[in-house]
Amino acid sequence: MADGFVRVPISEQDPKVRATNFEEVCLGYTEEEAVEEAGRCLNCKKPMCVAGCPVSINIPAFIEQVKNRNFEKAYEIISESSALPAVCGRVCPQESQCEGKCIRGIKGEAVAIGKLERFVADWARENGIKPKNTSTPNGHKVAVIGSGPSGLTAAGDLAKLGYDVTVFEALHEMGGVLVYGIPEFRLPKEKVVKAEVENVKALGVKFEKNVIIGRSITIDELMEKEGFEAVFIGSGAGLPMFMHIPGEQANGVFSANEYLTRNNLMKAFKEGYDTPIARGKKVVVVGGGNVAMDAARTALRLGAEVHVVYRRSEQELPARAEEVHHAKEEGVIFDLLQNPTEILVDEEGNVKGCKVIKMELGEPDASGRRRPVEIPGSEYEIDCDTVIMSLGTSPNPLISSTTVGLDTNKKGCLIATEQGATTKEAVYAGGDAVTGAATVILAMGAGKTAAAAIDEYFKNR
């Protein structure tokens, strides 16, 4: 029984069981649990949680409806602000956003806003409720590039304002990082992602897959030949980084993007799918972000002993605390304050190990975190057959290099104002394509802001 200080516990698959399957880890609240947890909300007059939400969901209002068992109304309130509640309820870093600001959190545990959002979205889907579009078509065509979180959000918002929106996706499935990056056990593809895309379709948005903007057609051609009057670029940050250490081209070294794409988008883990994946016996994942956790937990489920090698200490791990906790529970081993210096390769070109040097923390660097410094002479070897590099990603230059007047910064990110306006007229951008790799919800926030700015652009034209 929850009191004011402790949240209603949520059921999860047993760590030992889930470490061998790809079913969802968190099982979600039941109706009774959700209503009880909703009862913990103080319905603050000045709700700090809303200010902490990048898409400004009216959190106390939807929780109030959950408390009163008006789940449909709760869904309507969330849908006003978010196109992807079932996704956000699962993958948002709530602890540093809405829940981080919750008054309940000062003396106890914050209200489980994310879990309640997930409950409402799941309830709506299971009961066949779709978001409604009551706008009148205004006849203006807008193209959205990329069907990831920022693109889906911008598309949904623009459709609700009456625009004729087409989303162009380069891959064969809609969802961007939601389908290729985040694994099934955190975000089910059929049940959740596909359903959310269907919801955006229900708002009148058209989708075209297998179109590579910059190759199949350029942005200039979309505007000149296909009648699009404005464009939103939400093409993400897809280019993987490598360490540039010896042995990195060996067989058995993968970018986290490749490993996760094979498993998630191509469904290599499922019987009957053609795409292969290396089922390593001992896997080293280099990096400490959410993507590293996803790669580590995927390798674990494919049967490997998994070591996360990260150059700083546990405190600096950029991954969400919940992901680190889940990974540990499942049996992922953390080799902290260590960094690979070389990948050891056998005569046939396969990985046979990894040379690693120990680190200690020195003075804080530009990011404010203490800089890791190598400890001389501390190198040792880890035996392994697979190394997964999860060091971050940067935006793909394909669109910027093929669009006249679209400028990027030194890191290859599109230059855009806070409203999303790029250096090219009528072209807006948001999400990882502008910021470099960040989170789903920040991309959604950017999509939302840009949709409003595009509407403003049409009004002032």
Binding site for other proteins (CB under 8 A): 170-172, 180, 209-212, 215-217, 238-240, 242, 244, 248-249, 251-252, 254-255, 257-258, 261-262, 265-267, 272-276, 278, 348-349, 396, 398
Residue 214, token pair as written in the block: 């910059």
Q: Which is nearer to other proteins, 232 or 254 (CB)?
A: 254
d(CA 314, CA 329): 15
Q: Which is nearer to other proteins, 71 or 180 (CB)?
A: 180
d(CA 243, CA 390): 10
Residue 271, token pair as written in the block: 């019987």
Contact 358, 375 (CB under 8 A): yes
Contact 304, 328 (CB under 8 A): no
Least distance (Å) between residue 263 CB and other proteins = 11
Least distance (Å) between residue 366 CB and other proteins = 26
Q: Could you tell me which of 19, 127, 119, 114 has the C-alpha nearest to residue 57?
A: 114
Q: Which is nearer to other proteins, 273 or 380 (CB)?
A: 273
Least distance (Å) between residue 323 CB and other proteins = 22
Q: Which is nearer to other proteins, 130 or 191 (CB)?
A: 191
Phi/psi for 150 (5° steps) reads -70, -40
3-state secondary structure labels for all residues of 138-174: CCCEEEEECCCHHHHHHHHHHHHCCCEEEEECCCCCC
Least distance (Å) between residue 174 CB and other proteins = 12
Q: Could you tell me which of 392, 395, 442 has the C-alpha nearest to residue 414?
A: 395
Residue 215 one-letter amino acid: R
Q: Which is nearer to other proteins, 138 or 210 (CB)?
A: 210
Helix (H, G, I), strand (E, B) or coil at 231: strand
Where do the H-state alpha helices sit in 204-342?
A: 219-225, 256-260, 290-301, 321-330
Q: Which is nearer to other proteins, 25 or 440 (CB)?
A: 440
Q: Which is nearer to other proteins, 103 or 391 (CB)?
A: 391
Least distance (Å) between residue 392 CB and other proteins = 13
d(CA 113, CA 98): 7
Least distance (Å) between residue 279 CB and other proteins = 9
Least distance (Å) between residue 212 CB and other proteins = 6
